[in-house]
Structure 1
Amino acid sequence: MDSADYTAVALRLANADLSSLTAVRAALHDEPWWADRLHESDLAVLREVGAGLRRALDALLADDGDTALVEINNLLAAHPPRPRLSGHGGRDGAPNWHVHVAGPDAPAVDEVAAAAAWGLAQGVVQHGTTRWGRCQAESCDTYFLDTSTNQAKRFCSPRCANRMHVAAFRARRRS
């Protein structure tokens, strides 16, 4: 997994429904090696991490770099990454080299929390503080990272964009 993947984990956790283990596992469906090892007792930690991620993202959206810095550093202090090089999962016996953010025996919740904290920090390092957004579609508050060339992304997904564009089109046709 690379830093870009960890940024996606941070966003998925910030946007996730953390009310139940089933919902958390659904949010982490791309990481079954974590999702399948999480327990009900891990939800309190994940809720704390999710709240910290949202505070940091809200600070980035408000162009409050000082608060974002404090919030991200709080997450890193509470859930420090412990990087280790790994070479499993390759094809034909060749190693697939990548970095994990927790030791091989760490509980899944520790790795998810560290990955999310590290991912948000790396996202800010790689993309700066102005490329973070929140979906402008009605009834959607999803955070996203705008990697478009012109930094004009307003919606979290094509689905939300299409829904809003169709609604605007229908409203214009009615008038």
Structure 2
Amino acid sequence: MAESAQGFSAARRLLDVTEAVRADPGLPRAALAALLARHGERPSDLERGAFTEADAAELRAAAGRMAEVFAEQDEDRAAAALNALLEEHGTRPRLTRHDGHPWHLHADRKEGAGWGGWFLASGALALALLLTEHGRIAWGACAAAGCGRLFLGAGTGSARRHCSAACATRERVAAHRRRRRAAHPDGES
């Protein structure tokens, strides 16, 4: 189960599912179910009859839409995208505590909505909370060449641009080497 120090994290679930689908757009239903179970979804809700192949396809499509929000770097456009998702898929959020989880904010599926609608509503709510808490976009896609992994950057300080310290370091070293080559085109140091 993916728990943060404070408890359940809808933002972490959103990130993990979205990144898994980006890595494998045809991620099998069973793999999606296992990932959701690790994030605390009830196993009975993820059995084949309750979480079908069609549900998995809907969830994969929703993850694709959320990847677009993760890639947005402009706060106003991100807020507009989140508001549109909340308008289209949202329900009244509520505090809940179930299955051993601590209290957390929960977005239920609208009447008749599927797994994709639930994922979009709960994901939009999670990112909206991050945006309001930090006053800026606190997520993104790694800016390192050849990476692009999604990340949550909800810590204090300036906004993150990289998924990890390793990617940030690689980018700084590459930029340094480019500057040195430009300053010394004959290879002199």
Shared fold per TM-score greater than 0.5: yes
Normalised TM-score (structure 1): 0.66
Cα distance in 2 for partners of 1:26, 1:161 equals: 31
Partner of 2:184: none
Structure 1 segments unaligned to the other structure (5+ residues): none
SS state at 2:136 partner: coil
Matches within 5 A, 1:78-157: 78-90=88-100, 96-102=102-108, 109=115, 110-151=117-158, 153-157=160-164
Larger helix proportion of the pair:
1
For residue 42 of structure 1, the aligned residue among 55, 58, 76 is 55
For residue 54 of structure 1, the aligned residue among 67, 75, 85 is 67
Cα distance in 2 for partners of 1:119, 1:57 equals: 12
Structure 2 segments unaligned to the other structure (5+ residues): 179-186
- Any conservation in 1 of the 2:10–2:126 contact (CA below 8 Å)? yes
Cα distance in 1 for partners of 2:40, 2:148 equals: 25
Partner of 2:9: 5
Partner of 1:73: 83
Normalised TM-score (structure 2): 0.62
Rate the CA distance shift 1:70–1:3 in 2: closer, same or farther, 3 A: farther
How many pairs does the alignment contain? 162
- Any conservation in 2 of the 1:7–1:122 contact (CA below 8 Å)? no
Cα distance in 1 for partners of 2:165, 2:31 equals: 23
Matches within 5 A, 1:15-34: 15-17=19-21, 18-20=25-27, 21-25=29-33, 27-28=35-36, 30-33=38-41
- Any conservation in 2 of the 1:4–1:123 contact (CA below 8 Å)? no
Higher relative contact order (CA 8 A, sep 6+): 1
Rate the CA distance shift 1:6–1:88 in 2: closer, same or farther, 3 A: closer
**Sequence identity percentage:** 30
Larger radius of gyration: 2
Instruction: Read off the aligned partner of 1:88 and give its amino acid letter.
Output: H
Instruction: Read off the aligned partner of 1:53 and give its amino acid letter.
Output: M
- Any conservation in 1 of the 2:130–2:137 contact (CA below 8 Å)? no
Cα distance in 2 for partners of 1:22, 1:124 equals: 32
- Any conservation in 2 of the 1:14–1:50 contact (CA below 8 Å)? yes
SS state at 2:151 partner: strand
Rate the CA distance shift 1:98–1:112 in 2: closer, same or farther, 3 A: same
Instruction: Read off the aligned partner of 1:157 and give its amino acid letter.
Output: S
Rate the CA distance shift 1:69–1:130 in 2: closer, same or farther, 3 A: closer
